[in-house]
A and B are shown apart, each in its own frame.
Chain A
Amino acid sequence: MDDRRNELKKIIMDTKTLPTLPGVINKLNTLSNDDKSSVQEMARIVSADQVLSARILRLANSPSYGFYRVSTISNAMILLGVNVVKSLALSSSIFEIMEKNSVGLWEHSLGTATAAGIIARKLAIPEVEEITTAGLLHDIGKVIIGLKCVEQMPEIRRMIKMDELYVIDAEKTVLDTDHAEVGGWLSKSWFLPEKLSEPIACHHNVIASEDHRVKTSVVHLADVLIKASGFGDSGDSYVPPVQQIAWETLKLDESLLKEIIVELEDKLVEVKNFSLELQVA
């Protein structure tokens, strides 16, 4: 078991790129080169895609540039330049087989990013864009597990269905690790700043986060709310409870939560349209 875990960790340390949806790449391909509006459109598409965002942040934080803490796509675009971002995005590989659940996970990530942004603004928490990015990337571990643990996936899926387990518990049983830990490893090896890596690694266990507990709590809550809304497909059939520590950290109450949910429901209609637009691209 331990071997499997170490083996997976080693694979992740060697992972330099991850595939994304064909529609995203096609859409980027159709944007013209020197048009202001297409630069904004490019930023919008890139910041809606967890894999592209992670790759661009990896580059912006890589030692060859010497920047230490680039945690948003808009800052990465300023520092790397539009041309670098575009050619990096277009050099992405795509999912060879378009799996239904990769679209579901893509929507879940985008939904969580949206929810995280709404929560952060509502609670007047600083660094909204960083929190949104952390929300977008929180399940990046699932992309890697889906890609690198092809043999174990049927068993994980069977346990989720038959034994009624959460994804994270099925992963732990079969892989001796889980997507949160795997995502944490990837964010370390891709030089992502801690304000992103900690929420990614701790979104299922908020108490384990030390330096960025507020951001982690927001991402955790956003993840739960999106699961409850039925938007996208995280792989879980059941909605996990909001962890007490997150509730306390954010000083939530029911009326605040209600306002957040109302705003989120409205916004998700727009997000769904955007997602459909990219899928037909």
Chain B
Amino acid sequence: MSQSRIALISTQIPLSSMLQLRLQSKGYQVMVVDKTTAALGAFYSDPPDLIIVDFSSPCIGCHDMLFMVRSDSFFSPIPIIGIFPASDEQESWEDFPLDDFVTIPFNFTELSSRITLSLSRIKRIFDNNPLTRLPGNTSIHRAIEESMGLPLAVCYVDINHFKPYNDVFGFSHGDEVIRMLARIISNTVRESGGGFSGHVGGDDFVFIVPRERAEQVCTTIINHFDQIVQTLFDEETKQLGYYNALNRRGEKEQMPILAISIAVVPMDSPTITHAARVAEVAADLKKLAKGNNGSSFVVDRRTKAAE
């Protein structure tokens, strides 16, 4: 098993150097951060597997930093353990987005067990897609069930002509496109004011936002994707607007530059009679969206339930 990396945030040097030594002796790689301002930069450029935060001494900016870590889907699964001074007072846990805690004076064996448990728990309950770290199907189904009848829109995203791109440019570049689209969707949803983003698998994604924001979010996702996708092709391809690939019958065919289609299903529409209906409606809408050239989105505006 590869070494797990632990980030230790503490302003108390005696405590942090003691912990660092003991954790290293257990085979962990330990990065000590003594300034919370520097911590986020360090996490973002080199994400740790687990974070330990010392609250037994003043920790300026710690809460904001932990909330920042938790609010980004890419970093939110990282387990965080807090160190607290011994006291009878119950902490208000809403202010501490933690997974576990120990109190001072602590027993090192206990801390070590809690670290092991946190790391194994995250592996066990990880529904998130390993490539994009977005929530997977279990979470998506739950989110769709919960939005039934509400003024929300469930939006299905996929990439047009993704398979030939994968065939011509290789899987690692295909994966890059998937990761890019995942970031674009989750950033846009989050920056629009929040919502749910999930990764069904392959090039299929789902996001859920309030109905009145859906068109704006779709437009931004499409604009951002169309901008980013330009960097994947050389000048010649961009000028032509297509590249050569083999189609399903093995014949040479001109493939357009990657684009996305989004099907928007309002959840308070009478066409949505049960949760499974959402995917069917989306599939119909997708066919319409794919009829357009380039990226586009289609909103379900039917007012009667289908027979």
By a beta-carbon cutoff of 8 Å, the part of chain A in contact with chain B is 16-17, 39, 55, 58-59, 62, 64-71, 74-75, 78-84, 87-88, 90-93, 126
Contact = CB atoms under 8 A, between A and B. Distances in A.
B176 A66 contact: yes
Interface in B173-201: 173, 175-176, 179-180, 183-184, 186-187, 190-191
30 contacts: A17-B41, A39-B191, A64-B46, A65-B183, A68-B173, A68-B176, A69-B231, A70-B231, A71-B231, A74-B227, A75-B228, A75-B231, A78-B183, A78-B187, A78-B224, A79-B180, A79-B183, A79-B184, A80-B44, A80-B187, A81-B183, A82-B187, A83-B68, A84-B44, A87-B40, A87-B68, A88-B40, A88-B41, A90-B37, A91-B37
Interface string B215-238: 000000000100110010001001
B240 interface: no
Interface core residue of B45, B179, B184, B228 (most chain A CB under 10 Å): B45
Contacts of A55: 41
Contacts of A39: 191
A88 B187 contact: no
A78 B231 contact: no
A71 B228 CA distance: 11
A79 B228 contact: yes
Given A79-B228, A91-B41, 8 more contacts: A17-B41, A55-B41, A62-B46, A67-B179, A69-B231, A75-B228, A80-B187, A91-B37
Interface residue tally on B, bucketed by range: 20 to 34
B47 interface: yes
Q: Please list the 6 inter-chain residue pairs (A to B) with the smallest Cβ-Cβ separation, ordered nearest first.
A: A81-B187, A91-B41, A87-B40, A78-B224, A79-B183, A66-B179
Contacts of A69: 231
B1 interface: no
A70 B175 CA distance: 15
B11 to A, nearest CB: 16
Contacts of B231: 69-71, 75
Interface core residue of B42, B183, B190, B191 (most chain A CB under 10 Å): B183
B125 interface: no
Contacts of A58: 45
